[in-house]
Amino acid sequence: MMRHPKISLATNPASLKPGGYQPLRLSSGLLIWKVFLSSVAFTRHNRRPVLFILALSLLSAVEASDSIRWRTRQDRVDAQIEAMDLQHLLGRIATETGWSVFVEPDTSAQVSVKFKDTPSNEALKLLLGDLNYALVPQKEGSSKLYVFRTAFQRATLSVLATATTDEEPKSKAIPNERIITLKRGSKKTIEELASELGAKVIGKIDGQNSYRLQFENEMAANAADKALAGSQDASSDLNYAVDHPARLDRVSSNMAIPFPLKPRVSTDGSQVIIGLIDTAVQTLPKDMNGFLLPAQNASMDGSGPTPQNQVTHGTSMAETILQGLSLAPKETEGSSVRILPVDIYGGHEQTTTFEVGRGIYTAINSGATIINLSLSGDGDSKFLSDMIADARKQGVLFFGAAGNEPTTALTYPAAYPGVVAVTAGDPRGNIAPYANRGSFVDVMAPGTSLVQFAGESFVISGTSASTAYVSGTAAGYKATGQSADQVEATLREALAIKPVKPRTGKP
């Protein structure tokens, strides 16, 4: 499964002793986040996207001989690094130690070092060279490492843990479940078929003839696959688990960014609806809340309790979509774009590809023409692929998160042909060190978003945020009258990842 975005805290820890560190200044924080939000700008004259900081290039591959081993219990570190980018190094440190790592935006360095059996504090000095850092223990949870050039308070950009291998994750198919789709002309009802197969119907998609069946055990489910092979009545597909997206932590200072758009009521049927297939969406800031439509629920057993004191992943994606919308060509007198929240988790820690499909179906039946899928896994579902392909033929646009593993492994639904796969970029225009860069990836967008909830600020990093930015931007284009094909072509061209130029050996 995709490792969902690691959500990080950008704050001034109270445990830091005074002396040289000032409280986080709002003006500097706003400047940092405006840089991220202006990664894609749009000219007023031709309304075509122009990339300012996404001077696209792939990260340099790390040599196989590069290694770091952090023995936390013994407080000893071994490292052998010939050449490693700072972002990748910090990702490896986060992986080895479990620390939450933050870096000052636009800080870069190449690391080359070799040592063995070195205390961790000395190891950090050797690894980070001329850079400043602060390692802050926490009363609860892991320590926080801040890396910076100018000031501690500016180390606000979270660094996600970096995988150490390119092995594809194992799929998480639910062993005793299947998705059964009745074929046209089937002579059997789902109840009759379930009875014959010895299964129980635990979910359905009205109008789609697709059902979630639960069997007594994996052996019974496998027997059903064999019984339906070549059947004229129904097809069988695996149902994969989809993990709950990670939650966010608070930022101690409020770093709210003004939102310039106002919702406009559409009287000519031109309203553009974005289906947000995610966790529950809470009340948004007052200048954004008018863009929300009444929420729908497509989870297995209905809506569960929504957290009151913790922002949900769905809420953060809704705000990020609107930030992306604000960067797109503007409609006159406000925007007719709306977000339709569709909860596929219902307060649970997991959902499945069946619920993802039901969420998509619910959104499209409610008028959505853009679908945001800030989630993914490695389970290749024909059921979901076919549904997306059919909807794409009807003009529905899909945007999916490529995944937060720095590998080339396929992730779904982003890898399906009908989905625009979005990866994350850093402020310098490179693919973020934590993000997937497989051949299926289509476009790149900023990988960090600042959101507001209950008067507080939160930071999220990952391809989930990148996907939300692009969905919002796409909606802005569609609202100006462009067709789905025109919108997709425009974004694919403007945000395409340029190939890395081959090395010539010359400096």
> Same domain for 280 and 409?
yes
> Same domain for 255 and 221?
no
Determine, yes or no, domain membership for 193. Answer: yes
> Same domain for 234 and 342?
no
Percent share of the chain, pLDDT over 90: 48
Determine, yes or no, domain membership for 9. Answer: no
C-beta separation of 30 from 472 below 8 A:
no
**Over the stretch 290-348, which tens digit does the pLDDT of each residue have?**
999 999 999 987 766 777 778 899 999 999 999 999 988 877 678 999 999 999 999 88
The residues, ordered by sequence, that sit 6+ positions from 453 with a Cβ below 8 Å of its Cβ are 282, 311, 315
Tokens 């945001």 locate to: 372
Determine, yes or no, domain membership for 157. Answer: no
Dihedral of the CA atoms 466, 435, 492, 247 (nearest 10)?
Answer: -20
Domain boundary (200, 221, 243) is at 243
Determine, yes or no, domain membership for 261. Answer: yes
C-beta separation of 181 from 210 below 8 A:
yes
Determine, yes or no, domain membership for 154. Answer: no
Q: What is the distance between the alpha carbons of residues 88 and 433, in angstroms, rounded to a whole number?
A: 6
> Same domain for 286 and 341?
yes
Domain boundary (185, 220, 243) is at 243
Domains in the chain: how many in total? 2
Range of the domain at 372: 250-494
Q: What is the distance between the alpha carbons of residues 125 and 101, in angstroms, rounded to a whole number?
A: 15
> Same domain for 226 and 307?
no
> Same domain for 220 and 331?
no
Dihedral of the CA atoms 386, 390, 395, 397 (nearest 10)?
Answer: -10
Beta partners for residue 449, in sequence order: 460
> Same domain for 182 and 274?
no
User: How many of the other CB atoms lie within 10 Å of CB of 121?
Assistant: 11
Q: Per the structure block, which two tokens stand in for 334?
A: 């406000």
C-beta separation of 194 from 126 below 8 A:
no
Q: What is the distance between the alpha carbons of residues 236 and 359, in angstroms, rounded to a whole number?
A: 20
> Same domain for 325 and 403?
yes
* CATH number of the domain encompassing residue 475: 3.40.50.200
Nearest Cα to Cα of residue 107 among 90, 122, 126: 90
Q: Per the structure block, which two tokens stand in for 56?
A: 């696209």
Q: What is the distance between the alpha carbons of residues 140 and 196, in angstroms, rounded to a whole number?
A: 53
Determine, yes or no, domain membership for 118. Answer: no
- Burial of residue 482 (number of CB atoms within 10 Å: 0-12, 13-18, 19+): middle
> Same domain for 377 and 404?
yes
Determine, yes or no, domain membership for 178. Answer: yes
Q: What is the distance between the alpha carbons of residues 447 and 35, in angstroms, rounded to a whole number?
A: 12
pLDDT for res 61: 31
Maximum distance among all Cα pairs of the chain, rounded to whole angstroms: 78
> Same domain for 375 and 265?
yes
* CATH number of the domain encompassing residue 233: 3.30.70.80
Determine, yes or no, domain membership for 109. Answer: no
Q: What is the distance between the alpha carbons of residues 100 and 143, in angstroms, rounded to a whole number?
A: 6
The residues, ordered by sequence, that sit 6+ positions from 442 with a Cβ below 8 Å of its Cβ are 420, 421, 422, 492, 496, 497
pLDDT for res 251: 63
pLDDT for res 303: 64
> Same domain for 200 and 283?
no
pLDDT for res 88: 83
Residue type at 261?
A: L
Q: How far is CA 408 from CA 341, 403, 415, 435, in A?
A: 30, 10, 11, 10
Domain boundary (214, 243, 272) is at 243
Question: What tens-digit pLDDT sequence spans the chain (507 residues)?
Answer: 444 333 332 332 222 222 222 222 222 233 333 333 344 444 333 443 433 333 222 223 333 346 788 887 778 898 988 888 898 899 889 888 888 898 888 888 889 999 998 998 899 999 999 999 988 887 767 788 999 999 877 888 878 766 544 333 445 899 999 999 999 989 999 999 999 999 999 999 988 999 999 999 999 999 999 999 989 999 999 999 988 776 565 665 566 778 889 998 876 767 999 999 999 999 999 999 999 999 999 998 776 677 777 889 999 999 999 999 998 887 767 899 999 999 999 988 889 999 999 999 999 999 999 999 999 888 999 999 999 999 999 999 999 999 988 888 899 999 999 999 999 987 677 888 788 888 999 999 998 888 999 888 888 888 999 999 999 999 999 999 999 999 999 999 999 886 644 434 443
Q: What is the distance between the alpha carbons of residues 168 and 404, in angstroms, rounded to a whole number?
A: 12
Nearest Cα to Cα of residue 375 among 238, 240, 239, 245: 245
Q: Where are the beta strands (DSSP E) in 120-218?
A: 132-136, 144-148, 157-159, 173-182, 199-205, 210-215
> Same domain for 309 and 221?
no
**Over the stretch 260-291, which tens digit does the pLDDT of each residue have?**
899 988 767 679 999 999 999 999 999 999 99
